Amino acid sequence: MQTKYVFVTGGVTSSLGKGIVCASLGRLLENRGLRVTIQKFDPYINVDPGTMNPYEHGEVYVTDDGAETDLDLGHYERFLGVATSQANNVTTGRVYLEVIKKERSGAYLGKTVQVVPHIIDEIKHWMQKLGETGDYDVVITEIGGTVGDIEGQPYLEAIRQFRYEMGSRNTLNIHLTLLPYLEAAGEVKSKPSQHSVKTLLSFGLQPDVLVCRTDRPLTDDVRRKLALFCNVDQRAVIASQDAESIYEVPLLMKEQGLDTIAVERLHMEEDFKDKVLDAPDMDGWVRFLRQLKEPEGKVRIALVGKYVEHQDAYKSISESFILAGAANGVQVELVQILSDGLTTDNIEDRLATVNGVLVAPGFGDRGVEGKIEAVRFARENDIPFFGICLGMQCAVIEYARNVCDWLSANSTEFDPDTECPVIDLMEEQKKISEKGGTMRLGAYTCKLSEGSRASEIYGGKSKVKERHRHRYELNNVLRYKLAEHGMHFTGVNPKRDLVEIVELPEHRWFVGVQFHPEYRSTVGNPHPLFASFVRSCVAYAEEKDNILTPKGPRREKKIHLASAKM
């Protein structure tokens, strides 16, 4: 059966939400019975975002097979509940690297290597790589950047050739653009979108669907105008109106028939007639949205990190809290606290009103002492605490200093000459000088101690697999000394005997994990660690009479859906 390919481009400006549109369409098609995956092509020359500062590109999302990828893959996985891989995120740097490797090995038989055909052919190879596996009926491809960008031109040419080779029956082009409202004129302006489509046409690409980002309803007059001047059917002019939550977007898209247009244009009812449903079954999604929109209370949780000034630096963590909050019937208000500014003198004022503390992952020594102070405050005041990756390491350092009385305890990442290296560089990392893709990356097995809090949280499982991204580990030389002072190591990688989870069982909820559980939260299925942590924060808030919104009868709130039955 021929795989269908959907390409999503953007115009006028970046950050319009191409990833959310891709994820929403993917979920709708998935709920119509189709097997869907989504991939992202990024036009930057970095091989992957792994070496980028979070202020440059937001968080780095890690897949099971160890790919360091764009944060949009997190949206794909959370919406679809389908794991992504190395093949789901391709950059210009990776494309050129592959072509140069082939040239060096003589694969091009002495020919002059050029953008056309060699770079374009390499892009097309990656465009159809997932489809060729036979695992998917539909592959949605998001092209990063904006139409007209110099670095994006090879991707548009690749799409043009790909559509020519595969035929219009098997390919669909969606163009996302902006409809700005000019206050002085008192109207929505379509001219930027018209120019964006003309730019796209100059590369030989005619959009089949126009998705328009707007802050207000799209009138029929504007739809007709866009359809006329952009050569698009009027019903294929879709409004992507600002919503309270990104999780409302699939229902907004469904109301306007985006999935129906895709099914019709790609002849899916004929080609996949035994599996395509007449409409997507969105009952579960609607139930999730009602939980999200109708919380019974609100809890404040501190997210202590060094990149909190960038809204996307901890994207998967913040989304995991949204999902875990909905599952617990509450809204989680994240209090973003810059760790650089936390000290013994101000810690009480900064954390006085929170119901839980999460110390975030990161690299480098900036802000570490503030994170350690946050751990100490949570531990000493019995506030629910959750440490992720570096957050776990900070918990170990704090415990070593203030409970074990090892005052010089530190990580060799921050103090290479420390006399008490409770956190140390992995042995195999000591010979590595290159930065990109050289950490402990991807999914590894974690064996859970029977009867531990971790085992209980995971539903009594003895083993789980979680995703990692780090170079430093808890030092096994000092591990048993820490255990003698009361720290429990309840999750261990069985193959290499590396500590994955630490707990303080006498504390109401104190867990640190070396891995990144935020990468496994999906809609309707938040990671159990996040769900349990939020539940503990709710209990703490109730005990302290600190629930911000009193519990009471559920109130009707507007949700973007045509009816309760979707």
Cβ-defined contacts of 398-401 (< 8 Å, 24+): 398/372, 399/482, 399/485, 399/487, 399/504, 400/478, 400/482, 401/372
Query: Beta strand 4-10 with 440-448: parallel, antiparallel or unpaired?
Result: unpaired
Give me the phi and psi of 26, to 5 degrees please: -60, -45
Two tokens, residue 334: 């994240």
Q: Is residue 5 within 8 Å of 170, Cβ to Cβ?
A: yes
> Which residues carry out catalysis?
389, 516, 518
* Residues near 496 by beta carbon (within 8 Å), at least 6 away in sequence: none
- Give me the torsion for CA of 160, 166, 167, 171, rounded to 10°: -70
CA distance 516 to 469: 8
Buried b / exposed e over 359-375, threshold 16 CB at 10 Å, is bbbbbeeebbbbbbbbb
Helix, strand or coil, per DSSP, at residue 444? strand
DSSP result, 330-390: EEEEEEEEEGGG--TTTHHHHHTT-SEEEEPP--SSTTHHHHHHHHHHHHHTT--EEEETH
- Name the residue among 384, 431, 379, 432 with its Cα closest to residue 401: 379
CA distance 303 to 386: 10
Supply angle C-alpha 240, 157, 258, rounded to 5. 25
Q: Is residue 211 within 8 Å of 240, Cβ to Cβ?
A: yes
Strands (DSSP E) contained in 275-339 are 297-305, 330-338
Q: Is residue 496 within 8 Å of 445, Cβ to Cβ?
A: no
Two tokens, residue 189: 């302006």
CA distance 486 to 112: 66
DSSP 518: G
Give me the phi and psi of 239, to 5 degrees please: -90, 130
CA distance 383 to 15: 37
Dihedral sign for Cα 523, 524, 527, 533, please.
positive
DSSP 117: I
Two tokens, residue 528: 């159990």
Radius of gyration of the chain (CA): 25
In the chain, the amino acid numbered 517 is P
Two tokens, residue 352: 């006085």
CA distance 236 to 251: 16
- Give me the torsion for CA of 87, 89, 94, 95, rounded to 10°: 80
